[in-house]
Structure 1
Amino acid sequence: MRNIILMALCFTVAIQSGCAFKDIDKRIFVIAIGVDQSDDAKNPYRVTLKLALPAQKFDPSVNNIQIISENSETISGAIGRIRAKSSKDLNFGLLEICILGESLAHESINEPLNWLSRRFDIPMEGIVAIGKPNAETVLKMKPKSENFSGNALLLSLSETGSISSFTVPEHLYDFYRRTTEKGMDPYLPIIETENEVYKIDRVALLDKHKIKTILTTDETRVFKELLHSYPHFEITTKMVDQPFVLAIEQLKRRYTIDTNNKNKPVIRVSIQMRGVVEEFVNQVYEENWTKFEKHVEQEERTKISSLLKKLQKNGIDPFGFGLLYRATRHEGDKEWEQWQSIYPEAVFDVNVKVSIQGTGAIK
């Protein structure tokens, strides 16, 4: 028994020596990383790290954040140069945010995504986004509402704090899957800085390599509705020349692909919504709810159809219609070739059903 304990102790010491174990006071934690295009042709990548310094106690008056940027030919090379500027070991185990500069995302996201997905010490559940005008500007800004190191971005993008119908979060594992999966294309939220706050109300749609189009704010709201069956958002329209706002509290959606007529394939999109009147200056009585419902249905049908046609025109499929087609057919390798010829010619049949459940706290 004594020999077994001795062998276990020796094995533990050997493991710690091989893993180069370091105390926490000798580490510095990377909580966010930004990758931009640099102005140096020989060193095309500019990497920015947002570092959280360990502290014994929380003190909002003390700045425990350090920002370091470096240019290099590769992302790994830039990280190596940043290590030379730090007296402590860089630890990526708590990395929460990965931001790609807008100009880089317009050129290619392959290299930064390749680096992020290969690292064993980078959590795949981290948030990925696009920084405008660049990632470095976004990471350097410190909002007044930020109490902990870098938590303002995380609260917004992970929806653990603010929940907005215009913010579409994306995780690294899903982003990587979409860049490799046939029949489903990636997307990323866009972060802008405005008067010391983050503005996250648009989304960029990509093919497997770069940005293809950027949606408007209203299109982003519709996009999130179709992507996640997001149940809490507002539909704004006009009735009798007055603003009419319906707060949606329940949403169901269903997609089907009909290829019975090979000359005219149809993608059917069915949406069911339930909500309450949130804003309207005139009285809304139960007997005339139907005309309000029909009006909202027509408005939503037009917006959804317009968005789907825009995606089709750009040759991108973030909703996974192609993946649905492959999953419901059993023709082997021919399925993908068939879908590539079907999608550009498909017609969208959008059906929206709206049900008003009440008029809020007043009648």
Structure 2
Amino acid sequence: MPLVRGDGTAGAIVLLFPEGREGFVMKKTWRRKAALAGILLLLPLLSGCISNYKDIDRRMFVTAIGIDPGSGGKKFRVSLKLALPQGDPTKAQERVAVLSQEADSLSETLRLLKSRVEKELDYAHCKALIIGEEQARKDILHIMDWVVRRRDMQLILNVAVGSPTAEQVLKLKPSTEQIPSNSLILSLSRQGTESPFITSVFSYRLYRNLFEPGLDPVLTIIEARGKTGFIMDRMALFDKHRSRLTLNPDEARLFNLLERKNVQTNLPARYDGKLYEYYIETSKASYRLSTGDVGRPRLTYKVSIAGILEESSGEETMTQHLLERLARESEEKLEKQFEELLRKFRDSESDPLGWGLHYGARRFDNRNEMKDWKERLPDLEIKVKVKVQIKYSGMIR
């Protein structure tokens, strides 16, 4: 369209583009071509991944791993508990198999196990690692280093000690179990039962405690009973390599009362020759570590427990005075039991509650603080103060 100037002459419309517009368009086109070329180069790699994918009917899912010492000159015996997928998901019966193999290395045992099955072993659903009792007394550091390094094993494996062997624990078939290894997983993770004798330890936490100065790991012991039953009421305390100490059921319960809050359990109280049982509603424990530059170090624990009377073997009417007497009797007994347990930790130089970590966190000499703590630990003075409150005598309808 002609443009009329002020002098009456005709002109033309001139469109002015920003400077460098042509270069910008060419650069954008070049980027698109480069991106397209990159996609074309990646397509062969994607096709390779797809070709290596195995359908679910070509997989065997490993739900638990057990590790024991080998025999005949072999170092390890590894057992895998396998869940075999079913074609009909409505079937209630699950097919389970346990395979065992011995070799001089853990990696080699899995390679040999792959040669014994026709399907791919899948570890994505593996949720439990059981270390045999004999193997736990020898060494667990090698095992945990291997577990953490493998890319196909999760760091949230529930770890425990199997008695008498990990293989026997994996071969158990509880009548209440509907999913392979589900009874072990629900018990160890406390997602099912909340037992006062069980401590839940994931593989990442165990590996951390094996290297953390001033804090030693502790694991639940699973004892196989027959072919269908097990019991978890003991614990194994470790140093940085092996099991050093075993806690009986009473000690395991006391340890959990010190280690975490609101442990659901019952405790006995005796008065006038009669036995009473009270249920714990709330509980908590705290401690103070006094370690001056000179003198004997002192560890003071305070434990608070509140509960209700659950069982009585006498015929007396429950009064507030009687509840207070039961609480005082229970306090005296618990203080002695806690002090005996803590002295047992001190004398064995085991530290599952992290006293050494507490000591080192308040020092600035990183090179020598753990050495100083080990030298002062045998002289540690231990005192426990327990406060028990039995609030009411339960319900009688």
Q: What TM-score, normalized to structure 2?
A: 0.86
User: Would the alpha carbon gap of residues 189 and 9 (structure 1) be closer, same or farther in structure 2, given more than 3 Å must change?
Assistant: farther
Aligned to 2:117: 86
Q: CA offsets, 1:150-171, max 9 Å, x none?
A: 1111111111111111122211
Offset of 1:4 from its aligned partner? Answer: 5.4
User: Would the alpha carbon gap of residues 184 and 16 (structure 1) be closer, same or farther in structure 2, given more than 3 Å must change?
Assistant: farther
SS in 2 for 1:342: helix
| Matched positions, count | 362
2:83, 2:94 within 8 Å by CA — same for their partners in 1? no
2:391 matches 1:357? yes
Distance in 2, Cα, partners of 1:269 & 1:343: 16
Aligned to 1:214: 246
Pairwise CA RMSD of aligned residues? 2.0
Distance in 2, Cα, partners of 1:224 & 1:144: 29
Match of 1:224 among 244, 256, 272: 256
User: Would the alpha carbon gap of residues 356 and 9 (structure 1) be closer, same or farther in structure 2, given more than 3 Å must change?
Assistant: farther
Q: CA offsets, 1:125-166, max 9 Å, x none?
A: 110011111000010111000011211111111111111111
1:44-63 matches, within 5 Å, as: 44-58=75-89, 62-63=93-94
Match of 1:251 among 283, 294, 300: 283
User: Would the alpha carbon gap of residues 60 and 216 (structure 1) be closer, same or farther in structure 2, given more than 3 Å must change?
Assistant: farther
User: Would the alpha carbon gap of residues 241 and 95 (structure 1) be closer, same or farther in structure 2, given more than 3 Å must change?
Assistant: same
Deviating more after overlay: 319-328 vs 55-64: 55-64
Distance in 1, Cα, partners of 2:285 & 2:40: 58
Aligned to 1:301: 335
Deviating more after overlay: 18-27 vs 268-277: 18-27
Match of 2:197 among 141, 145, 166: 166
2:233, 2:252 within 8 Å by CA — same for their partners in 1? yes
Partner amino acid, structure 1, of 2:72: D
Stretches of structure 2 that go unaligned for 5 or more consecutive residues are 1-31
Aligned to 1:199: 231
1:1-363 matches, within 5 Å, as: 8=39, 11=42, 14-15=45-46, 17-18=48-49, 20-41=52-73, 43-58=74-89, 62-195=93-226, 196-260=228-292, 262-282=294-314, 283-362=317-396
Q: CA offsets, 1:195-220, max 9 Å, x none?
A: 42121110011111111111111111
Q: CA offsets, 1:209-261, max 9 Å, x none?
A: 11111111111110111112243111123222222111111112112110137
SS in 2 for 1:219: helix
Distance in 1, Cα, partners of 2:381 & 2:230: 38
2:216, 2:238 within 8 Å by CA — same for their partners in 1? yes
What percent identity do the matched residue pairs reach? 30
SS in 1 for 2:115: helix
Partner amino acid, structure 2, of 1:355: Q
Distance in 2, Cα, partners of 1:6 & 1:160: 51
Partner amino acid, structure 2, of 1:163: E
User: Would the alpha carbon gap of residues 14 and 343 (structure 1) be closer, same or farther in structure 2, given more than 3 Å must change?
Assistant: same
Distance in 1, Cα, partners of 2:42 & 2:267: 63
User: Would the alpha carbon gap of residues 345 and 147 (structure 1) be closer, same or farther in structure 2, given more than 3 Å must change?
Assistant: same
Offset of 1:7 from its aligned partner? Answer: 5.3
Deviating more after overlay: 213-222 vs 50-59: 50-59
Distance in 2, Cα, partners of 1:317 & 1:152: 30
Deviating more after overlay: 127-136 vs 168-177: 168-177
Distance in 1, Cα, partners of 2:168 & 2:382: 40
SS in 1 for 2:57: helix
SS in 2 for 1:323: helix
Distance in 2, Cα, partners of 1:237 & 1:106: 36
1:224, 1:230 within 8 Å by CA — same for their partners in 2? no
User: Would the alpha carbon gap of residues 13 and 163 (structure 1) be closer, same or farther in structure 2, given more than 3 Å must change?
Assistant: farther
User: Would the alpha carbon gap of residues 6 and 23 (structure 1) be closer, same or farther in structure 2, given more than 3 Å must change?
Assistant: farther
Partner amino acid, structure 2, of 1:226: L
Stretches of structure 1 that go unaligned for 5 or more consecutive residues are none
Distance in 2, Cα, partners of 1:50 & 1:77: 17
Offset of 1:59 from its aligned partner? Answer: 5.0
Partner amino acid, structure 1, of 2:166: A
Deviating more after overlay: 235-244 vs 295-304: 235-244
Partner amino acid, structure 2, of 1:354: V
Offset of 1:32 from its aligned partner? Answer: 0.3
